Structure 1
């Protein structure tokens, strides 16, 4: 086959002879160049099939240099030269020529050599085209090709390999830069085993992060391993393709399938003609139809009720978009009708053509029941089933509006249980909840159908009573409620009784709106508590003032604790026999910046009700013990310190621990600490005997304060570990002129002497009282006759220079 040939020869006659000879063989001579520069300039443009090149040419570029440049453009060169020395051959070999002829060359040899060179070129072009097709095919398929030559320990890659793999491995199994090291460890063992055994591999694997780019992903891996005769790996060849996007799409499809299968909404996939392709299990559950029964049917044929506005086409025509949602009437397989919330969605392909429709339905009957349940929870107390705060406001405002329209009255009864917190703390929250449920039941049992019972939190209840004509009716209802509440309740194998305090306020007499009416009833309730509890009280202005004062005290106490406004004074206790100072009682005071000093009788009850007494009591005990230790170190070694303890403190489960920690912290001698506890406290604390035993085990002394003023029980003195009792000032103040006071005092002294208890008389203000009590057998006393409560600096002076006796 003839070819297109370029001649590069600087001898004109030789060049013309060669042209004639080649043309006589049927070849086309596309150009005769006289220099290497000319050949390099024109060769890439003419693209000859072969260049017949002399090595020695005029100009700076010889034939070998020109041949190297033409080789870069895939133009083959055949050297025709007069020189054949070894040096010349070595130089010519660098350009990989297609042949080397030495002048003068015989015509047949020239013809044969040129013909073979052209045949070789055609074969190479065939290979190049095949390689190009393979390369284009790999690019089109986005493949990467790799080969591992185990004998040469060489890894070769082509195509998209490096862009897919993120790097070019140096070997097959190198720990850091190897092909297998780039594959996720979970997939690596199977691939390594297949390659070792010479097996074919067709799998999808996950890649580790690339050390170069940090990318990872998924690839399809196809490979074939070839073994040596001895069974070892000879070579392996394979291709890879990035399938990360496909894997992500598959994962999305799997998630969508899970949602489709597990969602609570009934879903149906429809074709372009609105016919069912598939339904999910929820659709079967909601409608009763199986997929086999509805496949190929339109929803209008079996699902939608026979009303045109519920049809598929009507709904889509309403919407200006590919979505519609609303409530429709649907039919179950058994013919029953149910309301459903329906979503319609058009699914379009990449060209915007409709491909499918998605229909989703949910039973709104269940939603309505759930809404009703949520609404009930929003307006009812979960513990008792009564209304809650939300219902309270709605009810009162509604009844006030009705009363305004018809000229009626509305009464609000605010109920607070007496002593509930003590029961809750001692018996536990479970018992407290049982008690609250029973009280709620009893309140509801008393009321009319038009009345509303509310639990607003804790142990507080409110009753809203509309259409009141007489205030006496409110009083009668309150009496019934008090009687019903205080009836004994069986609670955890115990029969307990709890009383209540009820405050009554009436619209429009006491307030004109919701807030004012509730506040007035709340104030009246505190008025009932102040009058002795287990009773009711109507609202009055002075109650409101006391309620405001209580609020100010509660808020002021919080500021007092934070601002160190609380302080202690100490009242001396003397021995009546000789007037000798034996100790002090610590008394708390509050120096309020605006109102001056406030006595404990005003703020301690508030502290007990609002829960601050625990902190205040611990502060008093710690401060008094720390101060008394300094006086002991000043020389008053036998000092006895008395500190009052409230019922709330003793009811706390950690009271004994608190006392122990304070004694350890301050290093105050336990046997010189006297805890003063009232009779009512001992009676209200269920585990008082065990508690006093634990306190006595610490070495602490116990006194009963204000003895005789509570509901005294001689069993307290008989069974509880008590060291002394304090005669209340109410018995002392009229001695010795009051016969009843004398009789009571004599009885207390006689009883104490028989039981071996020490006695302290409070409120001694005259020498006559002192002498009478001394002769009667009373051991010690305190009162203004001896000293008023003293500040710390005054006690320091008293201890530094004590008088012979205080009297």
Structure 2
């Protein structure tokens, strides 16, 4: 082709020098060459020369490798020939389809097949991946049988032509999953894509020529619409979320981008909007928000949402100087019901309790579920703290009647702690913590099932924590000891027994009163460890006295209701055996709170203890809620008149009547009577005349260490009876 062009140029120069016939001949030759040149250029445009050529046998192995192939791929002929064409493939292109072998070319009139083209990716020697245009020609032998293939390769063009780019962009817009809306300078719709119709329901015939107002939902205010219109007037792109309206009237959320197109003079010629229906995303977001902020069982707000709502109310309260309240409600018996009837019944009960609570509250009040059987109520605005008490009573009333779940009629109760903001606290976590403190105190309060928090209560809670921590250390640091208070016969005046009383000698504060640490031990469960220690120490001391040949009367040990379980007889028997102490040397004192639990199991445990040879005494009789029926059911051998009934003797008429009734009843039941807290001779004389059997109190002796008690026995100390 180049030689032909050079020949044309030479003839043109020659024609400028010649004239006449010679000139005509030269021009005729030039025309012929130009025609041939134009034909060659056309052929070249139709079939461009290949950048590289490969020859393959029918199995795909290389039999020919051009210089262009070496330049394109970097392999010398000796490196390429004999290899399978797959060595030019990218690693992840090995999908079982070898383009050079399975491409279907068409046949031409020459007996060769060709004109089969595709664009493929191939790998160079240095690892670089390139895109090439592949053309396959099938070679035949003289008999017409295929013998191999000629593969022509050209580098693929990176850039698109202007027309290809326009066509590509048009296809992208039409096939986009986003809706496309194009308006002219007069805000008339001039073009939409198929996704616009799919999302909105409007066809091109129904949209073209209209304005975008056909999608307006009417839910946005004037300020919002002004921002959108500013973007349409060229004040910069706008991105945001809009509520649109479909053809069927349904409102839907959409994510929108609005931009403008300007002409050569800079004037706005068109505005285009790209939008997506985000209903699915909004639904998913709403579900996630619900999971994060609401209890999955009851559907009530959870702690996270309660924090948000009360936090907002606190901010408003600080500004308005108003008040609010937070109530924490602990539902009793949920665990026992779930264990007995199954978690499905327990869950149904919690849902029903949530419903009942909701009916008892105002719409503005917030009801939340905190955890397993604990709810919270936020009264965001109250005028007086007493109003919170009214709500608490309503909630407790809602729990008063049996709750029907399926075939079960279930009875539950509740304890409520109340905090008032900003009086008790100024942040949500503090209010909840203080309400918890008040709720726990309410659980121990017989008179009321709800309590308000106060700073005094908080200080007591902190003190309880300190005592608990130090009491645990006391158990391991040998700070505990037993004192013994003698029991004296009102007939002989002799010592007939003693009560082992726990004492705590604190390394800093000295002797700590049992009235301080025993309630903490009961509340925290430490009473189990203390009770075990007392029994162990009492038996050890009795054994020590026995080894010292000291005849010791029975020693009474107090039992907590928490210790009273089916394994109690076995535990006591093990301690007695370990120290070689007989059962009749240890008496057990219980309180009326245990009798209130008077189930068959408790009676069975008591009978087992008595069968072992142990005696049971009922301590502080008359201060609890026991009835005379208990004394008939339980194998009690001794009643102890509480000191609160002794202190007024013999001058308080009511105390005298109560003491007389207890003594008379015990005599009828053949039970021994021990009067506690006897401090005066007048008290002693009155009780002796009533027929009381024993006394215990400061009149004879206060609680004393083990050595002093042993000395008292050795000396034979007796109670002196005098005249009234």
Counterpart for residue 73 of structure 2: none
TM-score normalised to structure 2 length: 0.56
Please, which of 573, 590, 594 is the counterpart of residue 677 of structure 1? 590
1:467 aligns to what SS in structure 2? strand
2:399 aligns to what SS in structure 1? helix
Counterpart for residue 667 of structure 1: 580
Distance 2:335 2:580 in 1: 32
> In the alignment, is residue 476 of structure 1 matched against residue 381 of structure 2?
no
Distance 1:490 1:627 in 2: 55
Counterpart for residue 347 of structure 1: none
Alignment of 1:281-320 (within 5 A): 304=177
Counterpart for residue 479 of structure 2: 565
Evaluate the alpha carbon distance shift between residue 707 and residue 381 of structure 1 in structure 2; reply closer, same or farther with a 3 A threshold: farther
Per-residue deviation at 1:306?
6.0
Per-residue deviation at 1:424?
7.7
Q: Deviations over 1:52-107 (max 9, x none)?
A: xxxxxxxxxxxxxxxxxxxxxxxxxxxxxxxxxxxxxxxxxxxxxxxxxxxxxxxx
Q: Deviations over 1:588-637 (max 9, x none)?
A: 22233343322222222222222222222222222222222222333344
Please, which of 390, 408, 414 is the counterpart of residue 304 of structure 2? 390
Per-residue deviation at 1:680?
2.1
Contact preservation (8 Å) 1:501, 1:533: no
Please, which of 707, 710, 723 is the counterpart of residue 793 of structure 1? 707
Distance 2:349 2:715 in 1: 59
Please, which of 658, 671, 681 is the counterpart of residue 571 of structure 2? 658
> In the alignment, is residue 578 of structure 1 matched against residue 488 of structure 2?
no
* Root mean square deviation of aligned Cα: 4.5
Distance 1:547 1:632 in 2: 44
Q: Greater Rg, structure 1 or structure 2?
A: 1
Evaluate the alpha carbon distance shift between residue 641 and residue 373 of structure 1 in structure 2; reply closer, same or farther with a 3 A threshold: farther
Counterpart for residue 728 of structure 1: 642
Counterpart for residue 688 of structure 1: 602
Distance 1:425 1:662 in 2: 36
Evaluate the alpha carbon distance shift between residue 373 and residue 713 of structure 1 in structure 2; reply closer, same or farther with a 3 A threshold: farther
Evaluate the alpha carbon distance shift between residue 488 and residue 678 of structure 1 in structure 2; reply closer, same or farther with a 3 A threshold: farther
1:668 aligns to what SS in structure 2? coil
1:591 aligns to what SS in structure 2? strand
Distance 1:478 1:703 in 2: 40
Contact preservation (8 Å) 1:732, 1:763: yes
Distance 1:403 1:509 in 2: 11
Counterpart for residue 538 of structure 1: 452
Contact preservation (8 Å) 2:403, 2:409: yes
Alignment of 1:385-464 (within 5 A): 386-416=300-330, 439-457=353-371, 459-464=373-378
User: Is 793-802 or 433-442 further displaced after alignment?
Assistant: 433-442
1:511 aligns to what SS in structure 2? coil
Task: Figure out how many residues of one structure are paired with residues of the other and give that number.
Answer: 474
Please, which of 736, 741, 744 is the counterpart of residue 658 of structure 2? 744
Distance 1:429 1:627 in 2: 48
User: Is 536-545 or 708-717 further displaced after alignment?
Assistant: 536-545
> In the alignment, is residue 592 of structure 1 matched against residue 490 of structure 2?
no
Alignment of 1:44-59 (within 5 A): none
TM-score normalised to structure 1 length: 0.51
Contact preservation (8 Å) 1:569, 1:789: yes
Contact preservation (8 Å) 1:581, 1:806: no
Per-residue deviation at 1:729?
0.9
Q: Deviations over 1:508-549 (max 9, x none)?
A: 233222243334434544565565343434343333332332
Structure of higher RCO (CA pairs closer than 8 Å, 6+ residues apart): 2
Distance 1:473 1:732 in 2: 42
> In the alignment, is residue 502 of structure 1 matched against residue 420 of structure 2?
no
Counterpart for residue 705 of structure 1: 619
Evaluate the alpha carbon distance shift between residue 365 and residue 615 of structure 1 in structure 2; reply closer, same or farther with a 3 A threshold: farther
User: Is 582-591 or 426-435 further displaced after alignment?
Assistant: 426-435
2:357 aligns to what SS in structure 1? helix
Per-residue deviation at 1:569?
1.6
> In the alignment, is residue 771 of structure 1 matched against residue 685 of structure 2?
yes
Q: Deviations over 1:682-727 (max 9, x none)?
A: 1035442233223333333221111111123111011122221111
2:388 aligns to what SS in structure 1? helix
Per-residue deviation at 1:384?
5.4
Counterpart for residue 559 of structure 2: 645
1:691 aligns to what SS in structure 2? helix
Contact preservation (8 Å) 1:486, 1:500: no
Counterpart for residue 274 of structure 2: none
Evaluate the alpha carbon distance shift between residue 635 and residue 769 of structure 1 in structure 2; reply closer, same or farther with a 3 A threshold: farther
Evaluate the alpha carbon distance shift between residue 509 and residue 433 of structure 1 in structure 2; reply closer, same or farther with a 3 A threshold: same
Counterpart for residue 628 of structure 1: 542
Give unpaired runs (5+ residues) of structure 1: 1-248, 254-269, 274-297, 312-337, 340-362
Per-residue deviation at 1:383?
6.1
1:710 aligns to what SS in structure 2? coil
Contact preservation (8 Å) 1:486, 1:499: yes
Distance 1:628 1:433 in 2: 53
Distance 2:712 2:341 in 1: 48
Evaluate the alpha carbon distance shift between residue 310 and residue 699 of structure 1 in structure 2; reply closer, same or farther with a 3 A threshold: farther
Contact preservation (8 Å) 2:596, 2:626: no
Per-residue deviation at 1:392?
3.7
Per-residue deviation at 1:460?
4.2
Contact preservation (8 Å) 2:174, 2:193: no
